[in-house]
Amino acid sequence: MGRCPQQADWRAVGAGHDGDRLLGDERPRRDDSRDRPLPRMARLRGTCVHVLAGVRAARQSTNHRPTADRLAVVLARQKPAWEPGTRQAYHGITLGFYESELLRRLDPQHRSLGQFFHDEIASPLGLDVYIRLPEDIPNGRLATMTRPTWLELFHGFPLRLALDTMNRRSKISQALRGSELPHDEPRVYARNLEVPSGGAVGTARAIAHAYSVFATGGRELGLRSETLELLSAPAVAPTRGFYDECLKGHGIQFSLGFMKSSPALPFGSPRAFGSPGAGGALGFADPVTGVGYAYVTNRMGTRLAGDLRDVALRDALFSCIPASPGTFGRLVA
């Protein structure tokens, strides 16, 4: 469920964050993806959690539009900022690029995350969601973003986080740098550009549809129960707890690429998993209630605990659903 409260029905979902303009190449050619060996990523060993330890932003720039293979080499050279499993930080855009590289090595066709999503999820379900926006989507279907002012950010964010966003050397600034890359003023959003962690474009209805499949057993996509159980399981805390080194706050929980519902940011039951987007967007699957939910808006807010309009919508929705054991109860704005 969910719809954009503004006039247009499309918008970017998620926040594109990274350092140094690490862009994908033009649409991958099938012969390149399938026939050539992929470069080794020496640091991609062990679990995803270990791979992403502290690599919140790549510190080496590339040329203007590097190929996926060249980008992989840059990513592999990055050194974790701390010992894997000890701390957590909002990885932003690097999360999507590392996940895409892991997927390219596991998928027999060596598809990128965006291509895999299109082939295996969006197309089978008939979804208007793209991680790489195609050329044939007219500008008239794309909602332009209305960003908050610096004053609104300063008053809306916690003081320490607000100050850090103004410091280009801070962890959050490094993680957020590059968030403008999916945007293209003449065409609203860049076309044929894959930024997995912040370049997706879609309707709220389509996003909710995708999450609903994950919330109701995954039969349409042939998902295994073991996969859904892992996604629904509680997040494992780093040894130093759920303090986020970028967001400068306690309690935000991540697991297997998704944000988990928690007392700090509750959505649905404790088994729910999903992802917020910059400015107040949110999508999640709740396997306890069987709800797939999405809220998108092109008027960006500044509340880390959830856009007030989104909170009110979720409040109304879950007030109509019988409470389940272990739920966090009604949301409070």
Two tokens at 257? 């690429």
> For every one of its 333 residues, what pLDDT tens digit does the chain have, with 9 covering 90 and above?
333 333 332 222 222 222 222 222 233 333 344 444 444 443 333 333 333 444 544 545 444 455 788 888 888 888 888 888 898 888 777 888 889 999 999 999 999 999 999 999 999 999 999 999 999 999 989 888 888 777 777 777 777 777 777 777 788 777 766 666 677 877 788 888 888 888 889 999 999 999 999 999 999 999 999 999 999 999 999 999 998 888 787 888 989 889 999 888 889 999 999 988 877 889 999 999 999 999 988 887 777 777 888 989 998 998 888 755 444 433 322
- pLDDT at residue number 55: 52
Indicate the pTM of the whole model: 0.76
Separation of alpha carbons 189 and 279, rounded Å: 17
Full set of structural domains in the chain with CATH: 11-319 (3.40.710.10)
Around 251, how many Cα atoms within 13 Å sit in the side-chain half-sphere? 9
Separation of alpha carbons 4 and 202, rounded Å: 11
- pLDDT at residue number 176: 67
Q: Coil, strand or helix: which one is 22?
A: coil
Q: For the chain, first and last CA: distance in Å?
A: 20
- pLDDT at residue number 177: 66
Pairing of strands 291-295, 253-255: unpaired
Identify which of 188, 185, 182 has the alpha carbon closest to the alpha carbon of residue 142: 188
- pLDDT at residue number 21: 22
- pLDDT at residue number 170: 81
